[in-house]
């Protein structure tokens, strides 16, 4: 533990208060009791702690301020926004059941307190409870109502107005009543999205040592899961008036009191992946406040065993990397989560909390750690510093430029992603670092651009043509790193970029992929071209990864009409179905199927277009042909053939088309070549129909199963087609969604040993 020497308007020593992290730079102290346990004063003070500068500032906020209180609970609900609920006001009285919001987005001088308007019942007055924000749900659990301890759970959805509290009807086992327990949100690993509760004190004053996780199922049900404790591991001490925090998949339990007065309380770590507990020595504290930033844990105020009646004003910092030095298996968890490993250096002056930075190279040392993986960390800081005000439907050049610049600055980083030869670990996908309203604004601005362009795009050469990406964001960055990126420092002035669809699903980074492409489309509307693939369809991407990724990484319900998932799919309904390069090359996602004879047929399709899979009209069949059909297995198979792999039920809607169909289509339309994607091909590209059709596939090692190369087709001004290849990384399977693979195995690659004469061209 390291004592932080803070300065400024240092708050009085206190206990029973809260300190809430509201950005990467700031934490907010509220309330608590000052003085000793025999004579104390309950306060409603609010202070800002600037983490980097170690400076305290008393906040004189306007609006409706909360009454003084202690033993309340608080949590951050967005950058520079936090809520406070409940608490005790002294003399046996309890604070009101109002939910208070502190808004710091306009700066500290214009900070505003307000009461959040709610309708219906509330959790009621209580103290010694917990409140957690698992986006978009506020969750209040347990505490004492003034007459008895309780174990009820109340939920408020911040995305649904008018706001109302709901008493959750959980089924099965549930934690017993408790007060002065702790709760924290897990955002990594198998317990992602869970509010995890530990310890506390029951109605008969007995300390507890059990852990429970509250989870929400996709059908809206909530239930409790008791955390298993592995036999023979260090079982935790029963305690109350402690705190907990998650660092990656590890839950740290800090301080507290036991049933034995003055007992030394260790710091204990629970590994949610192995169910093991480990003990470490630590400073003694109870009735303190705690917050966590990256791998650093900060503890303020409270009592210790040496002075159990007089609180402290000290801030102590705990470096988890240093604490866990004696437990290599736990250090490995931090390495996997944060891309760090122990080093001998001390924290540098430029890294006050021993963190990591997205501005660093893979070998740069900072703050006692070695950076290993690309990180996106400072978005909230950038938003705060620039005071960006981007709302849904933002209009005007400056706001739109700020919008796409925000995404491009943090997503278009080819060298950082391409340099990681071991693949990106699963833990990289636990959080997506953009606000929901920014993503929605990005989608709206991009849709405005796409709606203004035709169903069949006209594209000039030179142009790079990409096949399926499937959320394999690292492969996209590798292409940009090797063969040029679409930016001013890249080759956007001389090249167009054409993407043939299937941007989402299967891979674990669909959000990065689609947000980057949408931002590029807004910035370069006539240079970036996005066609629709068969996975740009809500009925498909609801099942094969994208919906689950939105649920996990954005903590949203994909079924809600205003979710990012639904809004992105509304945009997909406007994507064009085809492009023509220099009036010679036809580009589409799947193929020509049994019904596509002329480009005029595509031009006549109206948007927005919902793909209908149970075909009942000629146009519906035409759309399925364009998005879903494949060439026959070789040049000797002519006409229209069944496609049993994609259509196992034999409906006849999804077919294969022979080389004779390709030749006839090109002659009828005065074209020379068809470029399409849709199928995994082992060399990243493959010729068919004597070279008149080329399949391109840009995701390597498809679903971690096929070890295929990826390709992009470079089409020169002279209409030469030059494939540019990348090959699988060592651990590329980490980038594929296993849950999506369990629902449906990947479509087999387009070749079988020697049965195609051109399969290795």
Which tens digit of pLDDT belongs to each residue from 286-314?
A: 999 999 998 999 999 999 878 888 999 99
pLDDT band at residue 369 under the 50/70/90 scheme: very low
Predicted local confidence at residue 428, as pLDDT: 42
* 75-89, 96-110, 320-334: the lowest-pLDDT one: 320-334
pLDDT of residue 693 exceeding 80, the answer is yes
* 273-282, 373-382, 526-535, 591-600: the lowest-pLDDT one: 373-382
Predicted local confidence at residue 15, as pLDDT: 96
Structure-block tokens of residue 539: 């009925």
Predicted local confidence at residue 173, as pLDDT: 92
Q: Give phi and psi for 151, each to the nearest 5.
A: -135, 30
Predicted local confidence at residue 410, as pLDDT: 87
Predicted local confidence at residue 195, as pLDDT: 95
pLDDT of residue 756 exceeding 90, the answer is no
Average pLDDT over residues 117-121: 93
pLDDT tens digits, residue range 67-76?
999 999 999 9
| C-alpha of 87 from chain center | 33
Q: List Cα–Cα distances, 353 to 288, 312, 320, 670, in angstroms.
A: 20, 22, 11, 64
Please compute, for residue 257, the number of CA atoms within 13 A of its CA located in the half-sphere on the CB side. Answer: 19
Average pLDDT over residues 25-43: 93
pLDDT of residue 368 exceeding 70, the answer is no
Q: To the nearest whole percent, how much of the chain has pLDDT over 90? A: 66
Predicted local confidence at residue 609, as pLDDT: 96
pLDDT tens digits, residue range 647-666?
888 888 999 999 999 999 99
CA 253, 255, 261, 264: dihedral to nearest 10 degrees? 90
pLDDT band at residue 92 under the 50/70/90 scheme: confident
Average pLDDT over residues 141-148: 96
- In the residue annotation, 535 being an active-site residue is answered as yes
pLDDT tens digits, residue range 303-362?
987 888 899 999 999 999 888 888 988 988 887 777 654 443 333 333 333 332 233 333
pLDDT band at residue 199 under the 50/70/90 scheme: very high
Predicted local confidence at residue 737, as pLDDT: 53
630-631 vs 655-657, strand pairing mode:
parallel
- Domains of the chain, start order: 2-338 (2.120.10.80), 397-450+459-588+677-743 (3.60.21.10)
Catalytic residue among 181, 535, 589, 678: 535
Predicted local confidence at residue 705, as pLDDT: 67
Nearest CA to 257 among 292, 300, 208, 213?
A: 208
Q: What is the mean pLDDT of the chain?
A: 86
Predicted local confidence at residue 161, as pLDDT: 81
pLDDT of residue 409 exceeding 50, the answer is yes
3-state secondary structure of 597: coil
Predicted local confidence at residue 754, as pLDDT: 35
Q: List Cα–Cα distances, 185 to 45, 166, 248, 332, 362, in angstroms.
A: 26, 20, 10, 21, 29
Average pLDDT over residues 255-268: 92
């Amino acid at each position: 533990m390291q004592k932080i020497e803070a300065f400024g308007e240092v708050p009085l020593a206190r206990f029973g208060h809260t300190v809430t992290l509201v950005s990467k730079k700031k934490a907010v102290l509220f309330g608590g009791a000052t003085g000793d346990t025999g004579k104390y004063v309950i306060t409603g003070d609010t202070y800002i702690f600037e983490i980097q500068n170690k400076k305290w500032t008393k906040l004189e906020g306007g609006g409706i301020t909360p009454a003084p209180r202690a033993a309340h609970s608080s949590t951050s609900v967005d950058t520079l926004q936090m809520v406070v609920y409940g608490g005790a006001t002294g003399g046996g009285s309890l604070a009101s059941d109002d939910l208070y919001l502190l808004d710091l987005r306009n700066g500290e001088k214009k900070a505003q307190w307000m009461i959040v308007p709610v309708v219906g019942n509330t959790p009621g007055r209580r103290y010694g409870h917990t409140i957690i924000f698992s986006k978009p749900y506020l969750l209040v659990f347990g505490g004492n109502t003034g007459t008895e301890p309780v174990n009820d759970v109340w939920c408020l959805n911040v995305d649904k107005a008018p706001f109302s509290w709901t008493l959750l009807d959980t089924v099965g086992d549930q934690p017993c009543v408790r007060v002065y327990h702790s709760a924290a949100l897990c955002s990594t690993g198998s317990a992602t999205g869970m509010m995890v509760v530990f310890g506390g004190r029951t109605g008969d004053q007995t300390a507890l040592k059990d852990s429970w996780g509250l989870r929400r199922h996709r059908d809206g049900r909530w239930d409790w899961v008791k955390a298993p404790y592995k036999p023979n591991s260090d079982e935790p001490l029963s305690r109350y008036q402690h705190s907990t925090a998650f660092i990656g998949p590890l839950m740290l339990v800090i301080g507290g009191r036991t049933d034995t007065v003055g007992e030394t309380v260790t710091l204990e770590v629970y590994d949610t992946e192995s169910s093991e507990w480990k003990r470490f020595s630590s400073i003694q504290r109870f009735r303190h406040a705690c917050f966590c930033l990256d791998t650093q844990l900060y503890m303020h105020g409270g009592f210790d065993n040496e002075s159990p009646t007089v609180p402290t004003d000290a801030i102590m910092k705990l470096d988890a990397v240093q604490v866990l030095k004696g437990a290599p298996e736990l250090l490995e968890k931090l390495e996997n989560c944060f891309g760090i490993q122990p080093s001998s250096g001390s924290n540098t002056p430029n890294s006050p909390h021993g963190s990591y930075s997205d501005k660093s190279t893979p070998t740069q040392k900072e703050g006692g750690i070695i950076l290993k993986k690309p990180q996106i960390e400072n978005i909230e800081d950038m938003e705060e510093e620039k005071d960006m005000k981007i709302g849904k439907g933002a209009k005007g050049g400056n706001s739109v430029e700020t919008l796409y610049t925000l995404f491009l600055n943090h997503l278009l980083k080819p060298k950082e992603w391409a340099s990681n030869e071991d693949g990106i670990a699963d833990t990289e996908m636990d959080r997506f670092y953009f606000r929901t309203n920014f993503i929605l604004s990005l989608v709206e601005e991009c849709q405005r651009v796409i709606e203004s362009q035709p169903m069949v795009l006209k594209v000039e050469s030179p142009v790079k043509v990409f096949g399926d990406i499937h959320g394999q964001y690292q492969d996209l960055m590798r292409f940009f790193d090797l063969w040029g990126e679409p930016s001013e420092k890249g080759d956007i002035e001389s090249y167009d970029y054409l993407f043939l669809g299937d941007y989402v699903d299967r891979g674990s980074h669909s959000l990065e992929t689609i947000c980057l492409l949408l931002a590029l489309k807004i910035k370069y509307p006539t240079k970036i071209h996005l066609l629709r693939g068969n996975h740009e369809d809500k009925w498909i991407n609801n099942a094969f990864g994208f919906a689950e990724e939105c649920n996990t990484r954005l903590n949203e319900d994909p079924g809600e009409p205003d979710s990012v998932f639904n809004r992105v799919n509304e945009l997909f309904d406007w994507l064009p179905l085809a492009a023509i390069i220099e009036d010679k090359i036809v580009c589409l996602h799947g193929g020509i199927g049994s019904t596509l004879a002329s480009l005029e047929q595509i031009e006549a399709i109206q948007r927005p277009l919902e793909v209908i899979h149970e075909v009942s009209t000629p146009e519906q069949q035409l759309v399925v042909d364009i998005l879903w059909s494949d060439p026959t297995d070789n040049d000797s198979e002519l006409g229209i053939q069944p496609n049993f792999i994609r259509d196992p039920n034999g409906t006849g809607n999804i077919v294969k088309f022979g080389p004779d169909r390709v030749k006839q289509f090109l002659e009828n339309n005065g074209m020379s070549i068809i470029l399409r994607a849709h199928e995994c091909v082992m060399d990243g590209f493959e010729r068919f129909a004597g070279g008149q059709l080329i399949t391109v596939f840009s995701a390597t090692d498809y679903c971690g199963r096929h070890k295929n190369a990826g390709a992009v087709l470079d089409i020169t001004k002279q209409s030469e087609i030059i494939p540019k290849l990348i090959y699988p990384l060592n651990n590329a399977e980490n980038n594929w969604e296993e849950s999506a693979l369990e629902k449906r195995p990947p479509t087999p690659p387009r070749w079988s040993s020697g049965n195609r004469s051109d399969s290795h061209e």
